[in-house]
Amino acid sequence: MAMTDDARLQPGDTVGILGGGQLGRMLALAAASLGLKTHIFCPDPDSPAFDVSCAYTVAPYDDVSALDAFASSCAVVTYEFENVPGATAMHLASRLPVRPGVRALEVSQDRFHEKEFLRASGVALADYATIDSDEDLAAALTLFGGTGVLKTRRFGYDGKGQVMIRTASNARGAYDKIGRVPAVLERLIPFDREVSVIVARGIDGVCSAYDIAENHHEHHILKTSTVPANVSAETAAKARDMAIRIASSLEYVGVMGVEMFLSGTGDAETLLVNEIAPRVHNSGHWTDDACLTSQFEQHIRAVAGWTLGSADRHSDVVMENLIGDDCHSWPQILTEANARLHLYGKAEARAGRKMGHVNRITPRTA
Amino acid sequence: MAMTDDARLQPGDTVGILGGGQLGRMLALAAASLGLKTHIFCPDPDSPAFDVSCAYTVAPYDDVSALDAFASSCAVVTYEFENVPGATAMHLASRLPVRPGVRALEVSQDRFHEKEFLRASGVALADYATIDSDEDLAAALTLFGGTGVLKTRRFGYDGKGQVMIRTASNARGAYDKIGRVPAVLERLIPFDREVSVIVARGIDGVCSAYDIAENHHEHHILKTSTVPANVSAETAAKARDMAIRIASSLEYVGVMGVEMFLSGTGDAETLLVNEIAPRVHNSGHWTDDACLTSQFEQHIRAVAGWTLGSADRHSDVVMENLIGDDCHSWPQILTEANARLHLYGKAEARAGRKMGHVNRITPRTA
């Protein structure tokens, strides 16, 4: 079922999703509400997305015959994580539309490429330098005043593959700690807060950004997202503009999470882009219960080639991740009048595992 | 997995659903958001609910071995339609909780039993008489002033199995027209409007009613539900009270639709209960996009033995059914900023077939 790049799906068509975690699961639920079928491709036989999909394939991402059969059953392919192997994405893209495109994956899989792209897009970000040796690190630290954050270029998430360098003693052995792989050093920003914007872009080029969220992490894992964020109207508008600029520069199709650092207050508020995620994003889970269109439906509409929905927000909201044993509080959460419980159907509540989330909403009632 | 009548499910448990249409599908989607699995049992191999369930069984409702296997895989069984054969429900109820209970099915499957139950519950309804012969019909028509609506006691829906009698000529052959099966004659009510209330009752006996909806039918099929209904605050409160009284009288567990006739205006508004449906109801589809908790989630919470959610409404809404070819307007609907499209994944848009619905919402924004 080869389709051109601007192809639009019909109800009843199948959206292929690479990755079977909670993001794939929530994408599949959103697709079903729109009359679309889903086919999940994931190596993990216990993928929670399988429970709500029409079809699923358990195979490694480099299994070409499994990918071919998957491609034959789908009208478009999308993904729930940015570390889809490049060869997998390229192979599928030769068969049918992959949205967001292969370029979004290439850019986001390598921190240096990502930063180069962001700089070229004209958005503000912290200074950075590539690091391939102890000498590179020493030189960059000198440039940045002796401090910085050393991060692997590839495969970092939830604080993994990172070393914070605040002192000369931190610097010693830092490159060893991340395994002497290609890396970047980022200038240390005295940021006060972390914020994010979820932005969508349709195949018609129309962009739609949700309200800025203020994010709080614990142990490098997102714990809460609060909307509205406690920022000035100017900052809120600027954050959305930056996210839209990024999506437009990339000729992106789908939903993207844009993480930013916010420093200062009032007129002195300054935003720097931290990183982008070419997929629905944990810091956008609040949209499901507080907006006309959730990020999951928005992503499905975009990758289906359909008109985007309204990102307007009808409620104030705090999203809280249920991590590990947090999920055992579900009976109490159900008794809270304004709490919207979401559980991902994962059997085992391991430490650090995202088991669900709760959106506590306050309708903006007249 | 035998459970007592007050048993509560755990996340990861399976809700069995009899019937695989759009109601079963939307129940399965709601269950998935709460971390519950679903198993759909339906004789139709093309059931739209199969696309979003963990497991499904295609078998007749009287296939005892299929029912036994189904029961063994589930922690509770519910249903999407009231005409579940009594023997099926009884057999399952001997194995595991069936919610709403067998009594709710018995009452709602027979119009006469339903009316007797409603009268005993103390809610107002139109006069009625049982009809088993032409003589019964003649006598009842005399009693009701020569007019009435003749309805089969069993298996009526969407106007099927009904004859309107407004004249003596209508009366001739009326009993033949409905196949000379056991019937009731209802006194013809000069009602102005049709309204409904969706009510839920948990296993703890707590009831929660949604706002009253005003319903408009075309060709005996629901076309739109509008909330708020154009009724007085007293009527709105009274309608909810009547629905709660019915659910309580039945010791019901789950969501129920209560259809009512409304005549008069202002202080002269009068409500008469028309019929009850022991399941999620088409006139409650608006709850999905206008309330904190949808009727589908509310039903799943009730049958799982969980605390009910808030039925508060954050938006005004008009629900429109997409019947037959109506569904082909989906691309236009997607361009409406406040329209929430729902499609059921049915392949063929036959005349009169419910293909989807759209909720057009107006947030009650400050």
* Residue extents of the structural domains in chain B: 14-98, 127-186, 193-363
**CB A315, CB A294: distance < 8 Å:** no
The pair of three-digit structure tokens given for residue A327, joined into one six-digit string: 């999920």
Taking the C-alpha atoms of residue B304 and residue B311, their distance in angstroms, rounded to an integer, is 17
Q: Which fold has domain A127-186?
A: Dna Ligase; domain 1 (3.30.1490)
**CB A322, CB A329: distance < 8 Å:** yes
The pair of three-digit structure tokens given for residue A351, joined into one six-digit string: 């430490």
Domain A14-98 has CATH 3.40.50.20: yes
Residues of A in contact with B17 (CB under 8 A): none
**The pLDDT of residue A266:** 81
> Mean of the per-residue pLDDT values for chain A?
94
Question: What's the residue count for chain B?
Answer: 366
* pLDDT (mean) for B308-337: 96
Query: Residue B313 carries which DSSP code?
Result: B
**The pLDDT of residue B159:** 66
Q: Give residue-wise pLDDT tens across range B189-227.
A: 887 799 999 999 999 999 999 999 999 999 989 999 999
- Complex-level ipTM beyond the 0.85 threshold: yes
**The pLDDT of residue A158:** 65
Taking the C-alpha atoms of residue A85 and residue A96, their distance in angstroms, rounded to an integer, is 17
Residues contacting B172, CB < 8 A, separation 6+ = none
Query: Residue B240 carries which DSSP code?
Result: H
Q: Give residue-wise pLDDT tens across range B242-287.
A: 999 999 999 999 999 999 999 988 888 999 999 999 999 999 999 9
- The residue behind tokens 């103390």 is B122
Number of neighbours of residue B120 by Cβ within 10 angstroms:
9
CB contact under 8 A, A364 and B366: yes
Measure B341 CA to nearest chain A CA, in Å: 7
Q: Which of A23, A293, A314 best probes binding to B when mutated, by most B CB atoms within 10 angstroms?
A: A314
Measure A102 CA to nearest chain B CA, in Å: 27
H or E, element range at A188: none
**The pLDDT of residue A366:** 46
Q: Exposed/middle/buried for A335, CB within 10 Å: 0-12, 13-18, 19+?
A: exposed
**A71 SS3 class:** helix
Residues contacting B108, CB < 8 A, separation 6+ = B82, B114, B275, B276, B277, B278
Residues of B in contact with A12 (CB under 8 A): 345, 347
Task: Estimate to the nearest angstrom the gap between the alpha carbon of A60 and the chain centroid.
Answer: 22
What percent of chain B has a predicted confidence (pLDDT) above 90? 89
Alpha helices in chain B (DSSP H): 22-33, 64-73, 86-93, 102-109, 111-121, 134-143, 168-171, 174-177, 233-249, 287-290, 295-303, 330-335
* pLDDT (mean) for B138-159: 89
Measure B301 CA to nearest chain A CA, in Å: 9
The answer to whether B356 faces chain A, any CB pair under 8 Å, is yes
Q: Residues 19 to 38 of B: which have CB under 8 A from any A CB? A: 25, 28-29, 32-37
The pair of three-digit structure tokens given for residue B165, joined into one six-digit string: 């009698």
- The residue behind tokens 């997998």 is A88
Q: Which long-range contacts (CB under 8 A, 24 or more apart) does A324-329 make?
A: A324/A349, A324/A350, A324/A351, A324/A352, A324/A353, A324/A355, A325/A349, A325/A351, A326/A355, A327/A355, A327/A356, A327/B11
Taking the C-alpha atoms of residue A95 and residue B13, their distance in angstroms, rounded to an integer, is 39
Measure A135 CA to nearest chain B CA, in Å: 51
**CB A275, CB A158: distance < 8 Å:** no
The answer to whether A329 faces chain B, any CB pair under 8 Å, is no
Q: Give residue-wise pLDDT tens across range A157-206.
A: 666 789 999 998 988 999 999 999 999 999 998 877 999 999 999 999 99
- Label residues A93-130 b or e (16+ Cβ within 10 Å = b): bebbbbbbbbebbbbbbbbbebbebbeebebebbbbbe
**The pLDDT of residue B2:** 46
Q: Give residue-wise pLDDT tens across range B47-82.
A: 999 999 999 999 999 999 999 999 999 999 999 999
Q: Which of A208, A328, A365 best probes binding to B when mutated, by most B CB atoms within 10 angstroms?
A: A365
Query: Residue A326 carries which DSSP code?
Result: G
CATH superfamily, domain at B193-363: ATP-grasp fold, B domain (3.30.470.20)
Q: What is the β-pairing status of strands B14-18 and B76-79?
A: parallel
| Band of residue B5 on the pLDDT scale cut at 50, 70, 90 | low
| Band of residue B366 on the pLDDT scale cut at 50, 70, 90 | very low
Q: Give residue-wise pLDDT tens across range B84-127.
A: 999 999 999 999 999 999 999 999 999 999 999 999 999 999 99
Average pLDDT per consecutive 10 residues, chain A (366 residues; last block may be shorter)? 70 98 98 98 97 97 98 98 94 97 93 96 96 95 94 79 90 92 92 93 97 95 97 96 97 98 89 96 97 97 98 95 97 97 95 97 76
Residue B44, φ and ψ in degrees, nearest 5: -85, 115
